[in-house]
Amino acid sequence: MSPRGWQALYRAVALEADFRKMPHCIALAEKAIKQRLFDGPALRIDTAELRAMHSALDALEVLKAESTAQESIKREQMSKAIGVLLADDAEIIRNVLTRMLGTQPEIHILGEAKTFAETLEMTATLRPTVVLMDIHMPGERDFSANFIKVELLSSAKHVLAMSLWNDDESKAVAQSYGASTLLDKSTLASTLIPAIEECIQKDRRAQYV
């Protein structure tokens, strides 16, 4: 890099803004400046540039500390996030659910399943807080109800079932899968978020038992 290039780097670090937008560049800039500082005697770097180097390195230390703090905040937010797995063979329903849940910043959709097999596999892999599933999907006859219940509740904290029907038979099927609630698809706009919030409230109450 030319002397002008180094001066431009020092100025960019001093301004800090560009590096806040690109935190991955902080380590690269620090490595490059420290290497030039190490090579300083051989390169006969003047005093003015040495001062600029040290100022840039001080600025990078501040940026690193800020970046570490921001990552810590993100990890804390993610630890409090409500992970949801959507399971429905109808794409239009999954899209509607995605839009509904997208209005809630604390809810993160971890994945989408279209069959019972995918639901069980993704639940075991993603370990969501809530599995939101249709009780009638392809592959429902491939597994026993008890097997589905055990597999879901061994990896997810809660199961919320959905159906176009809200009769006693559908409620029994939902319960056999380990679902705490059967949600009527026609009323999801008013019942979905409260049902998820109730799951979280149960978790919080359980902490104090």
pLDDT band at 53 (very low <50, low <70, confident <90, very high): confident
Rounded to whole angstroms, the Cα distance separating 56 from 64 reads 12
**pLDDT value of position 14:** 61
| pLDDT greater at residue 208 or residue 187 | 187
Give tens-digit pLDDT for 6-45.
667 766 666 555 566 666 677 777 888 888 777 767 777 7
Query: For the chain, which residues make up each domain, given as ranges?
Result: 3-77, 81-207
pLDDT value at residue 77? 47
Instruction: Kindly state the average pLDDT of the residues 64-84.
Output: 68
CA distance 168 to 165: 9
Residue 192 tokens, joined: 């979905």
Quote the pLDDT of residue 78.
Answer: 45
Q: Which of 36-40, 55-59, 112-116, 203-207 has the highest mean pLDDT?
A: 112-116
Q: What is the mean pLDDT of residues 110-125?
A: 97
Class of domain 81-207: alpha beta
